């Protein structure tokens, strides 16, 4: 592996004021999003939508450090024939790729899942590098409910993440390591903390065992929030305090950056929580965002599949990117949302 290159790319992914656009929705997921705005999901409509974001100059040059792509998208050309990867690069952003094959139920562990996709991964990584990918993403899913998560399921997912990360780095691709503790359910913030702490301690032990170069990785975790169905919700300041506390206890300082997932939080909520975390700095790592819905919900609604709406959609995307860019530096306030 080229450690210097890996470290340089990982640091660029979390550069101050910038974060990662997660545009790696599977065909099934993007169809659900398009159904909600009355747009048929076709290869062309998916391309047009994503091209609209990638050509939003203010957002892409000032606030987006990298874009996570889906296999279809990384191979697509824009309407004028330019590869979408080239558009991203021309904006000064880094192309990335989702490489896991999704979650399946884990045998002998009821209601728990394992992420698949390790078979043939090294060969796929080599191809993605040639196409232009400089980082990758693999998502493990840890649910909280009665009796789960189990130690066995957490360990299985941590081992898969570690093998994926090692394969990435062998191909000079920076791994985004994503162990998502879901915010579904009725658990409180303390339970989220407890599970996340165990997940992260297990993960970093497995990364060590796999000899992963931590300086060439980016962590994409959940924040410490109560479940959506919990009767006791908490403030952004409470989210920030518990989130920073657990990460200081579990994440090595060798890790250059933490790019939080939004995990179903509303747009402004995700921005406010990120800002509150950074206001507790200085922190041992660069702390930013890797948002999907929290960046895309507003532009999707504004776009609605119509070419005439592209300027309004780009304005909405640029606004959310700017707000999160400010939050990544602890410089956001709600008055800027007007």
Q: Which residue is catalytic, options 18, 98, 137, 220?
A: 220
Q: From the DSSP assignment, how many helices (H) and strands (E) are in the chain? A: 13, 10
Measure the CA–CA gap between 104 and 183, rounded to whole angstroms: 19
Q: Which residue is catalytic, options 51, 178, 206, 242?
A: 178
The closest of 327, 337, 329 to 291, measured between CA atoms, is: 327
The closest of 292, 296, 334, 338 to 318, measured between CA atoms, is: 296
Task: Please report the sign of the dihedral spanned by the C-alpha atoms of residue 188, residue 23, residue 64, residue 199.
Answer: positive
Decide: 209 and 201 in contact? Cβ < 8 Å. no
Decide: 294 and 320 in contact? Cβ < 8 Å. yes
CA 225 to chain centroid, in Å, comes to 17
3-state SS, residue 20:
strand
Is 215 marked active-site?
A: no
The closest of 250, 275, 216 to 19, measured between CA atoms, is: 275
Is 178 marked active-site?
A: yes
Catalytic residues: 178, 220
């Amino acid at each position: 592996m080229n450690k210097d290159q890996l470290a340089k790319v990982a640091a660029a992914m979390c550069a101050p004021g910038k974060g990662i656009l997660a545009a790696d929705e599977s065909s099934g997921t993007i169809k659900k999003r398009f159904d909600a705005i009355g747009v048929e999901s076709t290869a062309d409509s998916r391309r047009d939508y994503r091209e609209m974001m990638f050509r939003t100059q203010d957002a892409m040059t000032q606030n987006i450090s990298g874009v996570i792509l889906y296999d279809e998208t990384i191979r697509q050309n824009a309407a004028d024939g330019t590869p979408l990867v080239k558009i991203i690069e021309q904006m000064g952003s880094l192309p990335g790729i989702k490489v896991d094959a999704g979650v399946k139920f884990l045998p002998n562990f009821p209601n728990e899942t394992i992420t698949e996709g390790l078979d043939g991964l090294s060969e796929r990584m080599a191809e993605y590098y040639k196409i232009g990918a400089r980082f990758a993403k693999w998502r493990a899913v840890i649910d909280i409910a009665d009796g789960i998560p189990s130690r066995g399921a957490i360990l299985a997912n941590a081992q898969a993440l570690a093998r994926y990360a090692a394969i990435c780095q062998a191909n000079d691709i920076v791994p985004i390591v994503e162990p998502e503790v879901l915010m579904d359910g009725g658990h409180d913030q303390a339970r989220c903390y407890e599970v996340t702490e165990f997940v992260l301690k297990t993960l970093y032990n497995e990364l060590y065992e796999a000899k992963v170069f931590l300086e060439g990785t980016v962590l994409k975790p959940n924040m410490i929030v109560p479940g959506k169905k919990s009767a006791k919700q908490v403030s952004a300041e409470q989210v920030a305090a518990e989130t920073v506390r657990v990460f200081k206890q579990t994440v090595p300082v060798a890790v250059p950056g933490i790019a939080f997932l939004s995990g179903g939080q509303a747009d402004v909520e995700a921005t406010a929580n990120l800002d509150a975390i950074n206001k507790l700095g200085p922190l041992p790592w660069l702390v930013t965002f890797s948002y999907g819905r929290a960046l895309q919900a507003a532009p999707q609604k504004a776009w609605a599949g119509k070419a005439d709406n592209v300027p309004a959609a780009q304005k909405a995307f640029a606004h959310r990117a700017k707000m999160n860019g400010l939050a990544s530096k602890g410089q956001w306030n709600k008055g800027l949302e007007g």
